[in-house]
């Protein structure tokens, strides 16, 4: 059993989490640990792991989490924006079957999507920027999913985005989706891994991967907002390429943007 | 102005519609008319046309409706199931811009989709049949859209489906989506046109078309449930091909199925 | 053993063929026969069948010929222009393995191709018309292959080209590739079949087919000169579409063009 | 005018080249120079540059050579094996038009190709290894093209192949295609550039590139023998992937293989 606080104790678990988890101490203790051991430590701290799986190479998180925690303590969710590639939907299904897990696939709010598309059409992000659409299709469903949770696990890495992820820590308080009353922590086990490390893992352990990765895609998001990159391009150049480089976050990790907590 | 009953009259329009439209008389009067004149007659009868546009060759309905009725009297809606092809989304946008119309794009209910996909994954239709998924992603949003309407216009043709559409009429009462209290009529201006007629029109009038039609697709629906057909195949063989042939309707036109009105 | 003239006789076979085959009589006797029986009669007349296989739906010729003649009496050749689709090359290989036959794949002359491409590049046909390129990549290798032969079998059909194939006969003298000294005959067993007949046969007998047929291609030639067609388009509109309609022959069947024999 | 030996002198140029070019001295003098300056030095030494252009990122050689030598002194040739991707053929044409150059496109020998494919089909390399097919489609036409030349320029880089190209020099004697009587030298201006350097150049100077690079392809060869690679894979893993890693050369640069000169 997990040595962590209280999901099974008589005392209310959330308060315990709030008072007992210190991200800085976690970083100090585990910063040099492998992703697997970071996940193990997180599981021991929280007694449960909720993994955000985007349908891309963060599938390694699913693979690793199931190695350090019992299946019923690993919750995996994905955000289906309604605009993903066919290959991504097929990959979700493959992962679900391969690991024999429940995959909690979240969907956007009907009224919000209809209001946006009926007013601005289906490609407003090319004119208005991606934040409005991401807000409706990704951020709101994520907020619903995270509500009340003490911790979530993400696949963020420092090498993904020089502009926004270079100061990423393996554990941090998520002030974007948590609150003072309901603190939320984020575990980023892949912080120090490079893209190459992730792909070495995928190939070494025969982890299933999204077929888009065989078509030149590195970073994968929604179909109209993702494109393959050229050899030598930074993976983030395949995302929202019509916008200024430097601050590319869909809002899931708004914490990485300057003053995110206050905006 | 439309000579039809009452959208602009002082009397409540819906009741008038209910009592005054006789589909059999309409068929008798217009069965040999061109699709354009059928639409004209329908507009004169109802004072407004609500066109269901699937993202396929029924784009001719949009083109024709705008030739017989003022733009503000032509309402066009589409059902975005969250699983359409990228080409179809792009086509919606092209049609919206080409005709400079509002396109009312309907989306499925968040809770219903999440309940289905989290329990059964994203491809349950291959095992369970397509009706559950179509019910959530197409039929329910359609029902919402049609609520309270007196009439809708569809692109159905007799040649589309020997099994279910051979008795199609240019006008009929829609007992699947209407009710005794709220009668709903369906106008099918393309009833007597063949696929070839439709494509002759598209090419003759430079009507925009879905790029999937250049990739072997004839009938177009959701991405996982549509495929290109071989030369000489009936277009309906490209839909739900893993199921028995003969009764292929997604539920939008359940009226075509035996006892649809009672099931 | 074939009852036909002379491949196994002591007398020189070609002269016998020259003097003994009467295409008009063959047409009179077999015009209403099935393609299979036309092939059977041709085999009986000539004692051997040399089938021209383009990599498209004329694969039915291969299938049928092997039903009416022993394998060693059926010679199949194809013309690899150096510009075919990957799918066509794969299909050649599949046919070769499926029927366990030798496939005589002809290739263009090095000097002729180099002279053309170094002077005019690889897409001169879009400016100059397709005849120069077809002449080098298809017609010359065909002429080499046919040299000395008494007969060849082609997949031509009347419904393929209203402009050039409407008068096609099931047997004819090939004055384009034969000569007075060396007469050559052409057998066209599919003359009276429609595209639909061919495809019914392919599906009924599980004949392998080119994967391009699942991508909207009907008629298939070289990659830069073939494209998918729209629903309802005539298959020939997918070939050399930048040229005037009406006289689309690559030169293999120049006989079909007005005055072909004299030009 | 080129300051180099003899193309314009009264003395026969080839003999001069033979006796006067010292690749070791060239390396010592230019090893730290930029690719552009290496090409400049090579042009000064030989008075002419014959560039081998594969249809991939070695297009930078064409771009650079035209910056250091007059157009009529830059000869560019490519090897059309008859099995390239449509995208590569289109790229050849784009390069030809973009730089307004003659592109000498070499083609394989008819008899040799026919003998191979009629005996073994079109995919024998998957069973027999790629050397037989490469020998016919690439190496023989290259040998013809290089006959009598004093020097050729290639896009080889050390980072392309740890196994075979790590000792590559910017200039070397080509004992695979030259002879004692007819010495041939090879200039490899990109020896010290990485893939990233090449791509920075392509993007910085808007050099046209093969559309396959937008589909996950890095190294590009024949269609059946090239595939996209995954993120983090070495580019050479996309070539002849069914064979042992380590000695992947098509024969153009057999010199890189152990004992190539003697085998």
Q: Which residues of B fall within a CB distance of 8 Å from C209?
A: 230
| Integer Cα distance of B134 and B81 in angstroms | 8
- The two tokens of residue A263 are 């905006």
Predicted ipTM of the assembly: 0.87
At least 3 CB pairs under 8 A between chains B and A: yes
E-assigned strand segments in chain D: 49-52, 74-79, 103-106, 151-153, 171-173, 185-187
| Integer Cα distance of D67 and A202 in angstroms | 44
Please, which residues bridge with residue A185 across strands? A151, A173
**What is the tens place of the pLDDT at every residue in B142-166?**
999 999 999 999 999 998 877 777 8
pTM, to two decimals? 0.86
Domains annotated for chain A, with CATH where assigned, are: 47-107+146-262 (3.40.50.620)
The interface residues of chain A toward chain B in range 116-155, judged by CB-CB distance below 8 A, are 117-118, 121-123, 141
**What is the tens place of the pLDDT at every residue in B163-190?**
777 889 999 999 999 999 999 999 999 9
CB atoms within 10 A of CB C12: 10
Q: Which of B199, B228, B233 sits opposite C232 (nearest CB)?
A: B199
Rg (alpha carbons) of chain B, rounded to whole number: 18
What is the DSSP track for B56-79? Answer: STTHHHHHHHHHHS-GGGEEEEEE
**What is the tens place of the pLDDT at every residue in D220-236?**
999 999 999 888 888 88
Share of chain A above pLDDT 90, in %: 75
Classify each residue of A156-169 as buried b or exposed e, where b means 16 or more C-beta atoms within 10 Å of its C-beta: bbbbbbebbbeebb
| Integer Cα distance of D243 and D159 in angstroms | 20
**pLDDT score for A6:** 34
Backbone angles phi, psi at B98, to 5 degrees: -60, -45
What is the DSSP track for C69-81? Answer: S-GGGEEEEEE--
The torsion angle over the Cα atoms of residues D245, D251, D256 and D259, rounded to 10 degrees, is 100
The answer to whether D105 contacts chain C (CB < 8 Å) is: yes
Yes or no, beta carbons of B122 and A92 under 8 Å apart: yes
Q: Which helix (H) or strand (E) holds C25?
A: helix C23-30
pLDDT reading at D79 higher than 50: yes
Annotated active-site residue in C64, C250, C254, C255:
C250
Å between D196 CA and nearest CA of chain A = 5
CB atoms within 10 A of CB D74: 24
Q: Alpha helix (H) ranges present in chain B?
A: 13-20, 23-30, 35-46, 59-68, 86-98, 110-120, 125-128, 131-134, 140-146, 195-204
**What is the tens place of the pLDDT at every residue in A223-245?**
999 999 888 888 888 888 888 76
Strands C185-187 and C171-173: antiparallel
Yes or no, beta carbons of C199 and B233 under 8 Å apart: yes
| Integer Cα distance of C57 and C63 in angstroms | 11
Instruction: Give the residue, C3 or A187, on which the prediction is more confident.
Output: A187
**What is the tens place of the pLDDT at every residue in D155-167?**
999 988 777 778 8
**pLDDT score for B165:** 79
The answer to whether A224 contacts chain B (CB < 8 Å) is: yes
B155 among annotated binding-site residues? no
Please, which residues bridge with residue C75 across strands? C50
Yes or no, beta carbons of B89 and A118 under 8 Å apart: no
pLDDT reading at A32 higher than 60: yes
Chain B contact partners (≥3 CB pairs within 8 A):
A, C
What's the rounded mean pLDDT across residues A9-22? 53
The answer to whether A215 contacts chain B (CB < 8 Å) is: no
Yes or no, beta carbons of A230 and D214 under 8 Å apart: yes
Helix axes D23-30, D35-46, angle to 10 degrees: 140
Å between A22 CA and nearest CA of chain D = 35
Q: Which of A86, A97, A117 sits opposite B105 (nearest CB)?
A: A117
The answer to whether D107 contacts chain C (CB < 8 Å) is: yes
The answer to whether B221 contacts chain A (CB < 8 Å) is: no
The answer to whether D235 contacts chain A (CB < 8 Å) is: yes
Rg (alpha carbons) of chain A, rounded to whole number: 18
- CB of A251 closer than 8 Å to CB of A52: no
Å between A14 CA and nearest CA of chain B = 25
Residue with tokens 């941090």: A172
Using alpha carbons only, what angle is made at residue B185 by residues B236 and B167, rounded to the nearest 5 degrees? 40
- A150 dihedral zone (left: phi>0; alpha: psi -120 to 50; beta): alpha
* Residues of chain C scoring pLDDT < 50: 1-18, 259-263
Backbone angles phi, psi at B36, to 5 degrees: -65, -45
Share of chain B above pLDDT 90, in %: 75
CA distance readout (Å), C205 to C63, C103, C212: 9, 21, 19
Residue B30 annotated in active site:
no
What's the rounded mean pLDDT across residues B228-250? 79
What's the rounded mean pLDDT across residues A173-194? 95
What is the DSSP track for chain A? Answer: ---SS-TTSSS-HHHHHHHH--HHHHHHHHTTS-HHHHHHHHHHHHS-EEEE--SSTTHHHHHHHHHHS-GGGEEEEEE--S---HHHHHHHHHHHHHTT--EEEE---HHHHHHHHHHH-S-THHHH-SHHHHIIIIIHHHHHHHTT-SEEE----GGG-TTTSTT--SEEE-TTT--SSS--EEE-TTTT--HHHHHHHHHHTT----GGGGTT-SS---GGGB----TT--GGGGBSTTSPTT----STTGGGSTTTTT-
- The two tokens of residue D204 are 């910085």
**pLDDT score for B253:** 81
| Integer Cα distance of A49 and A38 in angstroms | 12
- CB of B211 closer than 8 Å to CB of B87: yes
- The two tokens of residue A194 are 């490079």
**pLDDT score for A189:** 98
- C168 dihedral zone (left: phi>0; alpha: psi -120 to 50; beta): beta
Backbone angles phi, psi at B123, to 5 degrees: -135, 35
Backbone angles phi, psi at B215, to 5 degrees: -120, 25
| Integer Cα distance of B186 and B164 in angstroms | 16
Q: Which of B196, B215, B218 sits opposite C215 (nearest CB)?
A: B215
Q: Which residues of A fall within a CB distance of 8 Å from B113?
A: 80, 107
| Three-class DSSP category at B153 | strand
Per-residue three-class SS string for B16-52: HHHHHCCHHHHHHHHCCCCHHHHHHHHHHHHCCEEEE
The answer to whether C206 contacts chain B (CB < 8 Å) is: no
| Three-class DSSP category at C239 | strand
Yes or no, beta carbons of D230 and A203 under 8 Å apart: yes
The interface residues of chain B toward chain A in range 144-203, judged by CB-CB distance below 8 A, are none
CB atoms within 10 A of CB C100: 8
**pLDDT score for C10:** 41
Residue C186 burial (10 A CB sphere; 0-12, 13-18, 19+): buried
């Amino acid at each position: 059993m997990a040595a962590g606080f209280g999901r099974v104790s008589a005392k209310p678990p959330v308060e315990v989490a709030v008072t007992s988890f210190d991200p800085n101490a976690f970083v100090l203790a585990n910063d040099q640990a492998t992703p697997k051991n970071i996940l193990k430590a997180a599981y021991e701290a929280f007694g449960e792991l909720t993994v955000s799986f985007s349908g891309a190479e963060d599938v390694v998180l699913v693979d690793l989490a199931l190695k350090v925690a019992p299946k019923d303590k690993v919750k995996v969710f994905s955000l289906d924006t309604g605009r993903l590639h066919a290959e991504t939907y097929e990959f979700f299904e493959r992962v679900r079957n391969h690991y024999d897990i429940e995959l909690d696939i979240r969907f956007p709010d009907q009224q919000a999507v209809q209001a946006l598309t009926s007013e601005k059409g289906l490609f407003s992000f090319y004119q208005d920027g991606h934040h409005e659409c991401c807000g409706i299709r990704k951020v709101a469903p994520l907020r619903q999913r995270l509500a009340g949770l003490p911790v979530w696990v993400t696949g963020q890495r420092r090498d993904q985005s020089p502009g926004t992820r270079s100061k990423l820590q393996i554990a941090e308080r998520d002030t974007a989706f948590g609150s003072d009353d309901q603190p939320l922590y984020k575990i980023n086990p892949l912080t120090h891994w490079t893209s190459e490390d992730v792909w070495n893992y995928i190939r070494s352990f025969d982890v299933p991967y999204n077929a888009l990765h065989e078509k030149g895609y590195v970073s994968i998001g929604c179909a109209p907002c993702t494109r393959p990159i050229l050899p030598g391009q930074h993976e983030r150049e395949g995302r929202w390429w019509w916008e200024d480089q430097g601050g590319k976050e869909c809002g899931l990790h708004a914490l990485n943007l300057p003053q995110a907590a206050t905006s």
